[in-house]
Amino acid sequence: MLGIGGDATGAFRVYHLSKIPRELFDLVQARGYAFFFESLFIAHVNDLNIKEVPIKLPARTYGHSKMNVREIQRSVAQLLRLSIANKTNSAQFRLAKMVTEVDVGLIDPQGWDSYWNRKKKRSALVYEVVAAAYRNVVIKERLNTVIRREFPKGSKLLHAGCGSGQVDVDLHDHAEITAVDISVPALELYSKENPRAFAVKHASIFSLPFADASFDGAYNLGVVEHFEKDELRRILAELRRVIRPGGRLVVFWPHAYATSVAVLNSFHWVMNDVLKKDVHLHPPEVSLVRSKREAAELLENCGFDLVSYTFGARDMYVQAVVVANVRATAAEHLATA
């Protein structure tokens, strides 16, 4: 079955509808002539085969284009929106891979599904522009540097609490990454952002579905601050279990005096205390780190030895970057002797 359409340039689009997922056309937001631009762009983003087909057409009989000035303005505006959206959140134009192994018994008391479902909406463009700039300029480059410094090429890494994974996109040529999250909508976003991920798993970071010492290391960003200290100990103990002895843990841990925390607190104060809007951009941050000593004590109690702790201008005063080694037990020393 073919679908055919043309535009004012005389170019025609021929769609092999039996080979195009119906959901792909649901991603197209444009109406009118701009539909052709956006549908072709989305087909390209989703790796559909696009070819030129030469055809011979009779001369236009009406003597002028049927595309009026208003349609030209709409098409140009749509092209600009596509360009901005593609730079800030290109995954919104890709079809999500269904998470096939969903653990229906998992309970998410913090409500991350609703948080990530809001992220999936293209209507939240303004927030996403700001958030994407923050992730790409501040977080992503720093993560790339730390992961490549701490882990040799080819390492097997666990991203524990992966979220949408926009910061991971440049790491797959360096490491074999398995991503885990409790939120299915987050995993769908991660799959769209990271088609080269080794595996994407629905699981709780309190009970990871992996054997002991499965990974060379693990990392997460913007996760630990959402849990109370006793919960953090359980999380760290589980991460220590799945990381091999001598492996490493990297945590990007928001600081109590971070610039990002100040901005978010100010925003919540204006929206909730002044305007009475009851707006919450994410679950509460109950365990922001305050010092190197605090991080070291918590890690050491859970079987890790602190390697480095940095928080300052280099990290734009956003998050403390914490690196720790898995301390081998006496039994593990004997097993490897």
**Residue 325: strand, helix, or coil:** strand
Domain boundaries of the chain, sorted by first residue: 2-93, 112-336
Residues 180, 184: Cα–Cα separation, whole Å: 10
pLDDT band at 81 (very low <50, low <70, confident <90, very high): confident
pLDDT higher at 76 or 124: 76
- Look at residue 160 and tell me whether its pLDDT is greater than 90: yes
- What span, in angstroms and rounded, lies between the C-alpha atoms of 274 and 295? 35
**How would you class 296 by CB atoms within 10 Å of its CB: exposed for 0-12, middle for 13-18, buried for 19 or more?**
middle
Summarize pLDDT for 193-210 with one digit per residue, the tens: 898 999 999 999 999 999
The whole-number pLDDT of residue 198 equals: 95
Whether the Cβ atoms of residue 71 and residue 31 lie closer than 8 Å to each other:
no
| Percent helix / strand / coil, the chain, rounded to 5 | 45, 20, 40
Collapsed DSSP state (helix, strand, coil) of residue 54: coil
Give the pLDDT of residue 4: 47
Across 89-93, 186-190, 229-233, the highest mean pLDDT is recorded for: 229-233
Residues in Cβ contact with 182 at an 8 Å cutoff, skipping those fewer than 6 apart: 106, 108, 112, 161, 202, 203, 204, 205
Whole-number Å distance between alpha carbons of 208 and 181: 10
pLDDT of residue 88: 64
Question: Using an 8 Å Cβ cutoff, are 313 and 251 in contact?
Answer: no
Which of 3.30.56.10, 3.40.50.12780, 3.10.180.10, 3.40.50.150 would CATH assign to domain 112-336? 3.40.50.150
Across the range 211-218, mean pLDDT stands at 98
Q: Are 2 and 17 in contact (CB under 8 A)?
A: yes
| Mean pLDDT (the chain, rounded) | 82
pLDDT at 295: 97
Q: Which 3 state secondary structure label does DSSP give 111?
A: coil
Query: Residue 264: its pLDDT value, please?
Result: 74
